[in-house]
Structures are given as structure tokens and as C-alpha cells.
Structure 1
Amino acid sequence: MDNIPNYSKSQLALRNGQDKPEIWVSYKGLIYDVTKSRLWRDGKHYEHWAGQDLTEELKSAPHSEAAFERFEVIGKLI
């Protein structure tokens, strides 16, 4: 995990499935690539939007943080 790049909130925001083809989300300081997930089509997943930190939003989600284990960590949010 030490060798992964750092990204700012504005860099993360561009990976929202609209501005760039990548779909990324952040959770607890790590950035995950959810581009291949059918649940994140067009950068949205139910009431959640890609390109942002979902740490606080996960508290009201019907699943646990284990849902992120399926996705590749591609960076750290700085």
C-alpha cells in the first residue's frame, strides 16, 4: 500500500463516470476503482455518487465496508 499514488479530492471528483471514463470512490482514505461494477453504472449507486469520499455515507448503507474488498485500491486520498 505504500507504493500507491496520492490523489486530491479534486482529482477524485473527476473520476465520477461523467467527466472521465474511470469511476472511483474513496473510503477511509483509500481510493477504489469501481469502474467494472455493474452497480456503479454512469457513476451512481442508488443515492451515492462516484468521485467522492463515501466514508460517512457508508454508515447508512445496507452493507458493511467488506463491500470494498472486491475492488482494487488504486490510491490514497490526500
Structure 2
Amino acid sequence: MKTYTRSQLALRNGQDKPEIWVAFQGLIYDMTESKLWKNGKHYEHWAGQDLTPELADAPHSEKVFEKFIPIGILAV
């Protein structure tokens, strides 16, 4: 898998580029086709960032990411 920087991830926010990507636990997921991520927004969360620290506030567990295939690795 290709490695992407936080700056590269930030551009995939549904606004700057048409892709809608988010990171979770070091992996990057493409949410572009998800109905829950229209225009790069999912409730109060925005695409193009690492959502790992925000999961504690979510009404779901990390198992939600099992529905998606990781497309990259977030550079440390």
C-alpha cells in the first residue's frame, strides 16, 4: 500500500479534490462512495483527517471500518 502524508490526506476532503478519505489507526480509507460522507462531512466530522482520536465520541465502534478496504497508510 502507498503511504500518504497528513498534508496529502487533508486534500482528500471532498472540497479540494473529489476524493473523500479518512484515516483511522494508521490506515487510510476511501469514503467517496459512502452515502454517509457526502461533500466530505459525516455529522460533525470532516474528511481529510485522522479520526482515531474522535472515535470515542462516535455512536459506533471501530468495527464500522471493517466495511471499508484500506487504500493507504498514514505516514507518521
Other structure's SS at 1:56 match = helix
Q: What is the rounded CA distance, in whole Å, between the counterparts of 1:11 and 1:22 in structure 2? A: 11
- Runs of 4+ aligned structure 1 residues displaced above 4 Å come to none
**RMSD of the TM alignment (CA)?**
0.5
Counterparts of residues 17-28 of structure 1 (less than 5 Å): 17-28=14-25
Identity %: 69
Q: What is the rounded CA distance, in whole Å, between the counterparts of 2:46 and 2:67 in structure 1? A: 18
| Aligned: 1:76 with 2:57 | no
2:42 aligns with 45
Q: What is the rounded CA distance, in whole Å, between the counterparts of 1:75 and 1:55 in structure 2? A: 15
Q: TM-score, normalised by structure 1?
A: 0.94
Aligned length: 75
Which ranges of structure 1 fall in alignment gaps of 5 or more residues? Answer: none
Other structure's SS at 1:75 match = strand
Q: CA deviation at 1:11?
A: 0.2
Q: CA deviation at 1:71?
A: 1.2
2:55 aligns with 58
Q: What is the rounded CA distance, in whole Å, between the counterparts of 1:56 and 1:16 in structure 2? A: 18
Q: TM-score, normalised by structure 2?
A: 0.97
Which ranges of structure 2 fall in alignment gaps of 5 or more residues? Answer: none
